[in-house]
Amino acid sequence: MRSRYWFHWVSAQGIPRLVMRLQARRGDPFAELWGGHTGWAAPYPLIERLRAEGRLVHTPIAWATFDYELCRSMLRDSRFGVRPVGDYTAPEPLRSLAKRFPLPPSPVEPPSMLVIDPPEHTRMRRPVASAFTPRAIERLRDRVETVTDELLARLPTRCTVDLIQAFAVRVPIAIISQMLGFPDEDQARFLHWGDRMTPLLDIGIPWRTHRAALSAMDQMNDYLGSHIERLRLDPGEDILSSLVSGGELDSHALAATGSLLMGAGFETTVNLIGNGVVQLLAHPDQLQRLRNEPQLWPNAVEEILRFDPPVQTTTRTASADVEIGGVQLREGDTVIVSLAGANRDPGAFSDPLRFDIGRDNAREHLAFSSGVHSCLGARLARMEAGYALRALFERFPDLRLAGPLERRRLFTVHGCARMPVELGRRAPVPEPIPA
């Protein structure tokens, strides 16, 4: 098992890690954005440096764009598809060898819908999509509000609290667990597995991180395999039960879909809530405006997504020779699409480096991607984060940071691993927040 893990790390992660570390020593801003402390903690100045180099920038491992129109175009263009990380970072001989050592079902390997294109992507996404329609998400509103209110009621006020672990992760994990039919007592397992598996979305992660991620993936798949077999005998009213009963997906595809939905179901929202707290505390004038104009909360969530998105990048690979942005790309060329860069493009957003909860076109951000691979759970994330943030600041109006933030050491996912806060006084529970 260990040798299989190591081989996959070398082919998909080890080579780009070596290249990027060498480039970082030479002062390459993209290498610093990818793996340096500045990149993890404060990526936006580096993004602006790279934007100044052109609409398409050639990096040590792929092309990259920080241009809104190019990003939006590629995300919607059928001539650009998705691939697993190893398919564009490893040489062909290593890719061929890696296929001889298949990994268990994973959110970042086929048949996960994250890394496959139509028509296979359509087949995998269609049976899941009904659980994320506007009507289906609205039915979850009461549950979101109940979970949030209960968590806030239990937060201690006379000590420093890690807001991420005590609150931000707890809201979305409770909701997605219910949607997938998992017992409440298993939420801690999924938080543990998800925390270790998320780095698989990155490029060039360390060997120990990769090994821990695949070990967690094996444990999750053992759990999902047993859970799916139970659902075959006694299905419920959750998403996985529907998929099992539908018979469209085999056991491998069911496990891949289950692990993807579980991870994506809380990972984006956790970081959206955390980033929202950071930005609102950093911009007290905007927080005060929300107190005066609470009807702006939905737009505030959109501005948080634009200004400090929880997912910073995605990738697309040309399926044919294509010219875009004045550059001729060849079939197989991969482009790192900077969602964070697109969201701060002055060509798309006026005064983009200003955090403005009243911004007219904030919702035009690309934080949830675009096109066929747009985030399936975007509506749910908006609802969860919108209620969680508003309720948090209403219940604890004196909330403040109580120490330095611990940022996640990742390139793709942007958020806080730890956020020490002092909650201050607990305000009386306000009138119910209207939908």
As to burial, measured by CB atoms within 10 angstroms (0-12 exposed, 13-18 middle, 19+ buried), residue 134 is exposed
pTM over 0.85: yes
pLDDT in tens, the chain (435 residues): 556 677 778 878 888 888 888 888 888 999 989 887 677 888 999 999 999 999 999 998 899 999 999 999 999 999 999 988 766 666 666 666 666 666 777 888 888 999 999 999 999 999 999 899 999 999 999 999 999 999 999 999 888 999 999 999 999 999 999 999 999 999 999 999 999 999 998 988 999 999 999 899 999 999 999 999 999 999 999 999 999 998 888 888 999 999 999 888 889 999 999 999 999 999 999 999 999 999 999 999 999 999 999 999 999 999 999 999 999 999 999 999 999 999 999 999 999 999 999 999 999 999 999 999 999 999 999 999 999 999 999 999 999 999 999 999 999 999 999 999 999 999 987 666 555
- The per-residue DSSP string of 150-171 comes to HHHHH--SSS-EEHIIIIITHH
Q: In which residue are the tokens 């955390």 written?
A: 274
| C-alpha–C-alpha distance, residues 272 and 267, integer Å | 9
* Domain residue spans of the chain: 2-422
Q: CA gyration radius for the chain?
A: 21
CATH: 3.10.129.10, 1.10.1200.10, 1.10.630.10, 1.25.40.10. Which one for 2-422? 1.10.630.10
